[in-house]
Amino acid sequence: MIKYLSFFSLVLFITFAAAEDNRCYELRVYTANEGKLDALNARFRDHTCKLFEKHGFTNVGYWTPADESDNRLIYVISSPNRKSHNESFKSFLNDPDWKNAYRASIKNGKLVAKIESTFLKTTDYSPKIESTITKNPRIFELRTYVTANDRLDNLNARFRDHTCKIFENHGMKNVAYWTPTDENKGSSNTLIYIISHKNQKQAKNNWNGFISDEAWKKARAASVKDGKILASAPKNVFLKATDYSLIK
């Protein structure tokens, strides 16, 4: 009996360890100069992504806004931890292949006007983040929630216990859920997540169904009995995967 319990405990430990994601994620947003988004995508497709992998990064996903007037490239990369992430970026920037690719790409003008970076950690209820390519292109939705003071745990509980399940019931695929790791980026009050829909028209129907769902209404009402959770309305942007993204 003792041997059985020891084996069972070992299985539980391995299962939990495999499910836990302690990687360092980074959400990077590049605003391209006017007319330069295609060239920026070409640089990532032909050079940057391969060099990222060479220097220890994992390419998670690359997207551009569905609104084609929005000239941003939004992507997520990961590393085993923050220290290795910083070391990988240093070696990447010093790589002669990167320097050559960069110089060649800006012969007719710089490609990027602004870069924004947010380091992230997965929530305990985030699905496993892995490469997924569907038969038909999906539309993705990046959403950012900022909570009132000391309410992030309540928001996470609502997603963990109710929201994620109800999303799936209404045709929304849970892709990833994160919170920032740095205080100046919202570690105490911000949830950032990505879901997907079959297409943008279906996204509207999905949200209408979700909002009208009695299970959601009940869960929301219960969660705000002791005060509101969100400090402001959620921000969202619809995204389409680039042709070189490992998530499509």
Question: How do residues 228-242 score in pLDDT, each as one tens digit?
Answer: 999 999 999 999 999
Cβ(240)–Cβ(74) under 8 Å? Answer: no
pLDDT at 6 over 90: no
Any domain includes 15: no
Residue-averaged pLDDT of the chain: 92
Number of domains in the chain: 1
Asked if 179 contacts 187 with a C-beta cutoff of 8 angstroms, the reply is yes
* Phi then psi dihedrals of residue 139, to 5 deg: -105, 135
Residue 163 lies in a domain: yes
Q: Supply the pLDDT for residue 129.
A: 84
Res 19: pLDDT:
52
CA atoms within 13 A on the CB side of 80: 6
pLDDT digits (tens, 9 = 90+) for 125-182: 999 987 776 778 899 999 999 999 999 999 999 999 999 999 999 999 999 999 999 9
pLDDT at 132: 75
| Predicted pLDDT at 5 | 37
Q: Which domain holds residue 164?
A: 21-241
Q: Is residue 181 part of a domain?
A: yes
Whether 33 maps to a domain, the answer reads: yes
Q: What pLDDT score was predicted for residue 66?
A: 98
CA dist 167 → 211, 222, 243 (Å): 10, 18, 26
CA pair distance 10, 17, nearest whole angstrom = 10
User: Could you tell me the sign of the dihedral formed by the alpha carbons of 32, 146, 25, 164, in that order?
Assistant: negative
CA–CA distance, 239 with 64 (Å, rounded to integer): 6
Q: Is residue 5 part of a domain?
A: no
Give me the mean pLDDT over the 90-99 stretch: 98
CATH of the domain at 214: 3.30.70.100
- 65 assigned to some structural domain: yes
% pLDDT > 70, the chain = 92
183 located within any domain: yes
